[in-house]
Structure 1
Amino acid sequence: MSLHFLPRRVPQSGLSLTRCFSTSPRNANYADTLPNLKIGAHTKVLFQGFTGRQATANVKESLEWGTKIVGGVKPGVEGEHLGLPIFPSVKAAQEKAKPDASAIYVPGNQTAQAIEEAIEAEIPLVVAVAEHVPIHDILRIHSMLQTQSKTRLVGANCPGIISAIGKCRIGFQPLPCFSPGNVGIVAKSGTLSYETVASTTRAGLGQSLCISMGGDVLAGTNFVDALKIFEHDTDTEGIILVGEIGGTAEMDAAEWIKDYRRRTANPKPIMALVGGLEAPHGRIMGHAGAWAAPGEPDAQAKYQALERAGAVMVNHPEKFGEGMRSLLGSTVSRPRTQASIESASQKRGLHTMRRFNPASRPAQQKRSLYIKQFQAFDILKEMAIPVSEQAQSSDISISISIDRSTLSPCIVASPSAEFDPAQSRKFPFKYTQTNFQNESLISDVASHVGLPASSHGTLAGLVQALWRIFKEKEAFVLETRVGSIADGKLEVHGARFGFDDAAFRSSGRQQEVHSLRNTAEEVPEEVEAERDGIVYVKLEGEGSVGTLVNGAGLAMNTVDALTFHGGHCANFLDTGGKATSETVKSSFRIICSDSRVNAIFVNIFGGLTRCDMIAEGIILAFRDLDMQVPVVVRLRGTNEELGQKMIAESGLPLHAFDGFEEAAKKVIALARK
């Protein structure tokens, strides 16, 4: 199938990248917005997408908790909602209410436009919770953010930011998990952050400020940003970092921690976890950003870097609370309000009155499309790039991908055919780049991979073609294996092209590219799971333990932790943040189709998902699917006691726990029988 290219065509997102922000100085620095992260009781919060059902539920909860909400925006409408003013635009809200922050509660395909409006209105802090925001929309947003010094972004694809001390929630975090305290937390994963928060609450420590980096490829606020805030925050005495596979943010954090410990006489203790140690190479593990681009470190390298830097590492978030208590000592200074005393005294259940699911989080979906090599070759031929499948030992690697540190596209180059991180180098460039001919960037790339000057023009042409494909077809990575032919010309000997699924699924763009997908050639269980809104990855090996987890980060960590205890996992399965009894039943059906599975481990943290609903799904699955394998269920969080009671009284071969390690040991023992 031929993919046609139009002159200077860009994805139609409504964003005007060329618009100038006249109020920003020429030397604007996005780093100057770091102080905007220090939210608290003083913070005035605006909502974009104010009158929607999920935003309404969130506003009610946050107001009751103590967050200072000054109103919301509904384009072109003025009025009142929940006793608060409705503004016709973000600009009008900024002029009348002077908000310090905006919570964006619109779907992923509208998120970038909403962020742009907030940037133009110079809202100090913007929190975008939506999942499935097209990658190229966010690339353009970061091009804007880097030219100004007024607005700081948290997210997208994150639970938000919350001050437990100041009772300020900007996001959808499960409030009963939180208690005012002295531990600062920054995390990529939502469910892992809830587990971490609950662990520090049970330990009697509580939290000061919790910042979500989010699970997308590009994050408005990263680990180092959060660490800088925690370093100088007098309320924060201990720091916890929760990372995962994908990008280099954890490596950057490790370097910062090393420097911090060198220059500080009495550094605050830092603990960390990295999810995805057992993630298969090349797979996207639930989160849009949970994959390693060419030249990026794997999760094991991140773990080792953080450990060498002085962070105390754990293999499960349940261990953070007592571990941090030990590091801080038996005496901790933290605000002791009645609410925090009651919250910390909850030995098991962390209950909430209602289940909340953000409107902008639709059912999970496959986050990428890797086309076949012959299809990639067809696209390259259309761009007049020579191709051949005759690989040579002297081949080099040239890719276009995303530099998560500079928040921009980049060339990734390696003098060998394989992307060895030790040999690979990134060459970032601006998203507005249009022409690579006569660019010093090309000379630098050629020098790194050992190409002679005679090849510079051909290399520039290849990069130009790849960039055009990348931008016009909304790719997230274009990998090529390149060899030299006569007269300094280059030829592509191998190609692996990946395209952003969110652009197609949430925004209806790039149908031509995504029509190349052939589900008949994919893993049947993974295709079936996708239809049911479940992210499922079949793992290789013995695979005697099936896993069912709510949340991508928690699912990765579950596989890691079970492997650590001697288990052999058959799959990664994320039911999504809003698992229901029906998705649980579908998950069991898919897991049981794998003949390797001897036992199933259900690991649920009920922050947004009710444990009683999960228990109902498990019971339905046994009744309707005639399940023969034993199931170990670990339930923590919302309605956990009710869920455990339902399982205990079901009369079914189920084993319920609230602690991870005892549950893990039980399922591993059952799987060995």
Structure 2
Amino acid sequence: MATNLSPARVRSLTASARRLCRSATFSTSSKKLGYADTLRNLKIGAHTRVLYQGFTGRQATANAKESIDWGTNIVGGVKPEVEGEHLGLPILPSVREAKKKLNPDASAIYVPGDRTAKAIEEAIESEIPLVVAVAEHVPVHDMLRIHSMLKTQSKTRLVGANCPGIVSVVGKCRIGFQPLPCFSPGRIGIVNKSGTLSYEAFASTTRAGLGQSLCISMGGDVLAGTTFVDALKVFEEDPDTDGIILIGEVGGVAELDAAEWIKDYHTRTSNPKPIMALIGGLEAPQGRIMGHAGAWAAPGEPSAKFKYQALEKAGVTMVSHPEKFGDGMKTLLANRGFQSNASTSTLSRSAGQQRGFHTMRRFKNPPMSQAPQTQQRRSLYIKQHQAFDILQKRHVKTQEKTVSSEHFNLAVGIDRTSLSPCITVSSASPSEESFLRIPLDYRDKHRIIFENATPMVSQIISFLGLPLEDHEPLQKYIRKLWPIFMEKEAFLMSTRASITDNVVVVHEARFGFDDAAFRSAGRQKEVHALRDTRDEVPEEVKAERQGAIYVKLDGEGSIGTLVNGAGLAMNTVDSLILKGGHPANFLDTGGKATSDTIEGSFRILCSDPRIKTIFVNIFGGLTKCDMIAQGIINAFKNLNMTVPVVVRLRGTNEEKGQKMIAQSGLSLHSFDSFDEAAEKVISLAKEAPKV
């Protein structure tokens, strides 16, 4: 359950818990690890020599051609056990060989999710300075292993996975798949979780005449190689960046870490760069994963609304929709006396060399704190009786029982800030001050539990105030939970338990397992065989089969939403509710929606009798607006639709798509502005006759 924690509470443990966490790393040296020293590797530009892993694949080839034409300095690629040429550039059989012969500064990883971790590992071993992983569906336990490696070195910086990548607009270097037509060289640094929301932000700042300097994606996964704070530190020192945009969403505490950093930045800086932000998922239903693998709140994590409030209190200017970033930032820059586009009037300032980082202060490690594509289901929560069966096989006693004050909550999950497994503990009725999070070191996963559990258990008992002299029952219980978490690739195992007659008894259990481990890598078949789609919401199952993500919202929702991209879909629901509308659903057709997926999505929406009107909100980054327009027109003709539809098409081929809608002769309402489109769809829903 997500809880509105104070920033101080979420970001810190008690002094004794900190001591415990330090002892849990089992470091053989007192020397600090150096991953933070790799921040300078994010400052890419025309000097950056880019390598492609998975170079000859269809998507990588198309992407490389675009990037080369734009100005990116791609020097070659890697294909295992192959040496030759592709696009007039060398192919080498390994990253190690490419390092010797091509001396790349960065590697773009274009391999499927099940092979992404291995590719990252190869790049780390070859000490490639920057690694950008764009793939979705990378198994989360694979990434736990990767982050345990990253912490031990100071050469390689990771961006991603599951992210659009990083682009220096002033330096003409794109590593990833960001839509190039949205960019113009300029002054605004942008860091984001959501791809489609960031594309809207790129376009908004371009339309405002501000342009962009450096754009960094944190990505939508639980475990991010580069965070908001990392990007903010780079933007602070970047002479090409005059203003900063941050785009967050439900899940994790990265936005709270950013808020704390921003408060400190404002305190120590006489004329700070203006910062604007947006948080997606303010109205996301509790306990649901909203498209992105990381868009969910674990026990003890704050709500999206609380993160919004924390950033606002830190002095950040908040907006409700990304199209407002351009004009808003223009006003902020003028009010603070920043000169117009002087920092990027010539591209040569940063295009040819790294600058400024040789004098940068050493950063401390971030503080520890509390088509259809591959089907986009992100997780599997099994039923409680199934979780009980798993526990009983490990000789854990289970008994359903009404919650009492003697009960406590104990979960094994993932700490997104320390990028490691963790144990979270709270009382039966948690309050803001009642969560304890203890990060564990993935590298020493066996020693932590089996050789050094006593200090951790002592801390838990002290935190809960349990009158126990014998630590053995709780210690045995954790030793039984931990192997389940590791062996079955869980992302969350949350239990409510009590201790009776020196035995831990579990009364409630909610276990979530990583779907990517099954769909990408074919692992954990026995766990995923527990799924029974007959017990699920039919619309959600249908959407999954066509590669979309559908969440049916509770209540008398009258507006059906159809959006491409999880972040934009969350923000669409948020914005409609803010304006007094009543969305019936969240529907992410995927960042690569086709006319077929659009028509299929209309079929699902039309099956919901609550829906009185449909709002199509598409930002064409990778998706082309004319293709979406054709899907809308096809749906109208094939489904004999009578429900009015409001369409907002922006981005790639927007004029062509809007013209197709206007000339279709169908009952479609087309808009450029999000606000105008939202107001129209709300008015149509109110005017619709009640059945």
Same fold (TM over 0.5): yes
Q: Is the 8 A contact 1:392 1:483 kept in 2?
A: no
* Partners of 2:98 and 2:104 within 8 A in 1: yes
Q: Does 1:495 align with 2:496?
A: no
Residue in structure 2 matching 1:335, options 334, 340, 344: 344
Q: Distance in 1 between matches of 2:432 and 2:492?
A: 16
Deviations 1:436-463 (A, max 9, x none): 2543122112211222343521111111
Aligned 8 A contact 2:241 2:343 in 1: no
Counterpart for residue 69 of structure 1: 74
Show the counterpart of 1:242. Answer: 247
CA contact (8 A) 1:180 1:334 kept: no
Indicate the SS of the match to 2:462.
helix
Match for residue 427 of structure 1? 438
Q: Aligned to 2:571, which of 557, 576, 584?
A: 557
Distance in structure 2 (CA, Å) of the matches to 1:200 and 1:187:
15
TM-score relative to the length of structure 2: 0.89
Equivalent runs, 1:119-134 vs 2, <5 Å: 119-134=124-139
Q: Does residue 538 of structure 2 align to residue 527 of structure 1?
A: no
Q: 1:173 deviation in Å?
A: 0.5
AA in 2 matched with 1:270: I
Q: 1:84 aligns with which of 74, 78, 89?
A: 89
Taking the aligned partners of 2:343 and 2:31, their CA distance within structure 1 comes to: 42
In structure 2, what residue type is equivalent to 1:440?
P
Matched ranges for 1:479-494 at <5 A: 479-486=494-501, 488-494=502-508
Distance 1:369 1:337, change over 3 A: same
- Please say if 1:161 is aligned against 2:166: yes
- State whether structure 2 residue 519 is matched by structure 1 residue 505: yes
- Tell me how far 1:247 sits from its aligned partner: 0.4
- Match for 1:451 among 457, 461, 466? 466
- Asked if structure 2 preserves the Cα contact closer than 8 Å seen for 1:131 and 1:361, the reply is no
Whether the 8 Å contact between 2:275 and 2:317 is mirrored in structure 1 is: yes
The answer to whether the 8 Å contact 1:577/1:608 transfers is yes
Alignment correspondent of 1:203: 208
Residues 372 and 597 in structure 2, CA contact (< 8 A), matched pair in contact too:
no
SS of the equivalent of 1:228 reads: helix
Residues 260 and 377 (structure 1), Cα distance of their counterparts in 2 relative to 1, 3 Å cut: same
Measured after TM superposition, the shift of residue 465 of structure 1 is 1.3
User: Aligned pair 1:410/2:419, yes or no?
Assistant: no
TM-score, normalization by structure 1: 0.92
- Other-structure match for 1:574: 588
Cα deviation for residue 433 of structure 1 reads: 1.7
Match of 1:377 in 2: 388
Q: Within 5 A, what are the aligned runs for 1:111-510?
A: 111-329=116-334, 331-332=339-340, 333-336=342-345, 362-393=373-404, 394-416=406-428, 418-431=429-442, 432-435=444-447, 436-437=449-450, 438-486=453-501, 488-510=502-524
* Counterpart residue type for residue 601 of structure 1: F
Aligned to 1:106: 111
CA-to-partner distance for each residue in 1:501-549, whole Å, 9 max, x for gaps?
0000111000000000010000011011111111000001120110000
How many angstroms apart in 1 are the aligned matches of 2:327 and 2:609?
Answer: 39
Correspondence for 2:12: none
**Pairing partner for 1:57 from 56, 62, 72:** 62
Equivalent pairs counted in the alignment come to 628
Judged with a 3 Å threshold, the aligned counterparts in structure 2 of structure 1 residues 419 and 135 are, in CA distance, closer, same or farther, namely farther
Give the SS at the match of 1:439: helix
The whole-number CA distance in structure 2 between the counterparts of 1:453 and 1:46 is: 57
What is the rounded CA distance, in whole Å, between the counterparts of 1:182 and 1:291 in structure 2?
32
- Say if 2:166 and 2:217, in contact at 8 Å, map to a contact too: yes
1:11 matched to which residue of 2? none
Aligned partner letter, 2:344: P
SS in structure 1 at match of 2:181: helix
Counterpart of 1:616 in structure 2 is 630
Structure 1 CA distance, aligned partners of 2:627 and 2:218? 29
- Contact 1:182 1:236 (C-alpha < 8 Å) held by counterparts: yes
Question: Please, which runs of 5 or more residues in structure 2 have no aligned partner?
Answer: 1-28, 349-370
Q: Deviations over 1:318-370 (max 9, x none)?
A: 0000000000018422424699xxxxxxxxxxxxxxxxxxxx99334211111
Give the Cα–Cα distance (whole angstroms) in 2 for the partners of residues 288 and 147 of structure 1.
26
Q: Is the 8 A contact 1:364 1:576 kept in 2?
A: no
Residues 288-312 of structure 1: per-residue CA shift (max 9 Å, x gap): 0000001000100000000000000
In structure 1, give the amino acid aligned to 2:212.
Q
| Whole-angstrom distance in 1 between the partners of 2:203 and 2:37 | 32
Give the superposition deviation at 1:552: 0.3
Q: State how far apart, in whole Å, the 2-side matches of 1:363 and 1:589 are.
A: 20
2-structure distance, mates of 1:461, 1:129 = 40
Identity %: 69
**Is the CA contact 1:363–1:576 (under 8 Å) kept in the aligned structure 2?**
no
Is contact 1:415–1:450 with CA below 8 Å preserved after alignment?
no
Amino acid at match of 2:162: N
Per-residue deviation, 1:314: 0.1
Question: Does the Cα contact within 8 Å between 2:109 and 2:133 map onto a contact in 1?
Answer: yes
SS in 2 for 1:499: strand
Q: Deviations over 1:456-502 (max 9, x none)?
A: 2111111111111111000000000011212x322111100000100
Query: Given that residues 136 and 161 in structure 2 are in contact (C-alpha distance below 8 angstroms), is that contact kept between their aligned partners in structure 1?
Result: yes
Q: Any idea what SS the aligned residue of 2:582 has?
A: coil
Letter in 2 for 1:502: A
Partner SS for 1:433: helix
Segments of 5+ residues of structure 1 without an aligned counterpart are 1-23, 340-359
Compared CA separation, residues 379 and 419, structure 1 to 2 (3 A): farther
Q: Distance in 2 between matches of 1:409 and 1:537?
A: 28
Task: Say which of 627, 642, 660 aligns to 2:674.
Answer: 660
Q: Residue in 2 aligned with 1:585?
A: 599
Matched, 1:630 2:644: yes
Q: Which range moved further: 433-442 or 250-259?
A: 433-442
Distance in 2 (alpha carbons) for counterparts of 1:128 and 1:440: 37
User: 2-side partners of 1:407 and 1:367: how far apart?
Assistant: 19
* Shift, 1:26, TM fit: 6.2
Q: CA offsets, 1:613-633, max 9 Å, x none? A: 110000111111111110000
Amino acid at match of 2:566: A
Deviations 1:26-75 (A, max 9, x none): 64321111111111111110000011111111111111100111100011
1:596 aligned to 610, 615, 623, which one? Answer: 610
CA-atom RMSD in angstroms: 1.6
Distance in 2 separating the partners of 1:622 and 1:421: 50
Q: Which amino acid letter does the alignment assign opposite residue 424 of structure 1?
A: F
CA distance in structure 1 between the partners assigned to 2:200 and 2:186 by the alignment:
16
Find the aligned partners of 1:71 and 1:452 in 2 and give their Cα distance: 64
**SS of alignment partner, residue 322 of structure 1:** helix
Q: Distance in 1 between matches of 2:185 and 2:588?
A: 30
Q: Deviations 1:632-655 (Å, cap 9, x if unpaired)?
A: 000001111111111111111000
CA distances 1:369-404 after superposition (whole Å, capped 9, x unpaired): 111111101100111111111234121000001000
Q: Structure 1: how far apart are the matches of 2:378 and 2:185?
A: 36
- In the aligned structure 1, how far is the partner of 2:533 from the partner of 2:290? 19
